[in-house]
Amino acid sequence: MYEQFGLLRPRAVYAHCIHIDDADRALMYSTGTAAAVSPTSNLFLGSGFFDYAGADRAEFLYGLASDVGGGTSFSPFHTMLAAYYIGREGQTKPGVSLKPQQLWWQHTAGAARALGLEGVVGNLLPGCEADFVVLNPQATPLLARKTAQAGSLDELLFAMIVLGDDRLIAKTVISQAETA
């Protein structure tokens, strides 16, 4: 029905997309339509799970989002952790293990790409607008211990996803634009 009314197009973003199949994902890909995936909402409501493996197979656009209308948190750390849980235990069998770098990308540059704002926001490249946070991986004793033991970037990023909360944020920077 959305296609019949011209509602599937670039910069059209649909929430959740948990009850779609491969044909729907292919249609979203072919029209440039994106999904805003809200895993904390889906877990809280028990409404279903986003199929990350299916989305990646179809190569359609999606980004991580928070939905406190039906969810539990604005926290990007809670959102990424919920996406990790769903990827591991969701409807896809066998489950997929979302890598920490992929989770951070989907919450930043992936979300910008899904909104049609790639190259404008979502990263710290020269010429891009940026609202961002500076993180302190030693913000709490437990986090400091875990991140000190990290042997790779993925281990560091995963520790911040699992143990991160508002104390991890050392500074917030709003409306910065850097030119090359």
Domain boundary among 91, 114, 137: 114
Q: Which uninterrupted H or E stretch holds 91?
A: none
Q: Phi and psi for 131 in degrees, rounded to 5? A: -115, 125
Residue 37: inside a domain, yes or no?
yes
What is d(CA 69, CA 41) in angstroms, rounded to the nearest whole number?
8
Residue 121: inside a domain, yes or no?
no
Amino acid letter at 6? G
- Mean pLDDT score across all residues of the chain: 89
What is the total residue count of the chain?
Answer: 180
Lowest mean pLDDT among 20-29, 45-54, 100-109, 160-169: 45-54
Expressed as residue numbers, the domain containing 166 is 129-177
Q: How many domains does the chain have?
A: 2
Residue 86: inside a domain, yes or no?
yes
Q: pLDDT for 71-99, tens place per residue? A: 888 899 999 999 998 888 755 456 667 89
Both 94 and 41 in one domain: the answer is yes
Q: Which of 72, 10, 4, 11 is nearest to 38 (CA)?
A: 72
The reported pTM is 0.87
Both 99 and 172 in one domain: the answer is no
Both 97 and 145 in one domain: the answer is no
Q: What is the pLDDT of residue 178?
A: 52
